[in-house]
Chains A and B, each alone.
Chain A
């Protein structure tokens, strides 16, 4: 069954704008929250992750926030560029890693 819900399923943004993808989860034992980026024809690649003892993590233009009380976490991409166009997956783990359904991000010049 789906433990993690991801929204939106598609996201179109203008180059330079910000993109936000949100995920909610149900298992309160979840303690690891990674985000993967999948480019066309390739396997997913980890871009950032966060553990349950941290509320926010940043790496250059990407950041992840975690609200354990509300059981949701979000990916923020600032100053989007055409190379950010891809499918993004959230996931969470409590001993079993489960993925969201994915968000197709299209950055238009």
Chain B
């Protein structure tokens, strides 16, 4: 099993550009989520999904969109990048929700200039 994979590893965007961060898992997990990690602030939940076709907002959803068309994939879209979105983004998956072990991907480091 590859676990949770994320692409790209690094990305630099200009303000106003859009992009999609890819996340895939091969563990047949129903629950998937996106976090951003900023210095001194831990991990903050952006969006999550409890299964294909179902998504919901987390703590910091503004400026981000998600969709879940398959169990395996959970892409995160930035519609119009802003410098405040400079961060490290982690995708995670879990068998049954946030009260169970989260399996994190290796992260995407995004810089918005």
Nearest-neighbor residue (CB-CB) of A94 within chain B: B99
Of A14-22, A41-49, A53-61, the one touching chain B: A41-49
Give the A-B contact count at a CB cut-off of 8 A: 54
Interface size on B, residues (CB 8 A): 20
CA distance A41 to B106 in the complex (A): 7
Shortest CB-to-CB span from A53 to chain B, Å, is: 13
Q: Which of A34, A41, A89, A96 contacts B42 (CB 8 A)?
A: A89
Interface of B, helix, strand, loop or mixed by DSSP? loop
CA distance A99 to B44 in the complex (A): 7
Tell me how far the C-beta of B21 lies from the nearest C-beta in chain A, rounded to whole angstroms.
14
**14 pairs, CB–CB < 8 Å, chain A vs chain B:** A9-B40, A34-B101, A34-B102, A43-B92, A44-B104, A45-B104, A49-B101, A89-B42, A93-B98, A93-B99, A97-B45, A98-B45, A99-B44, A101-B40
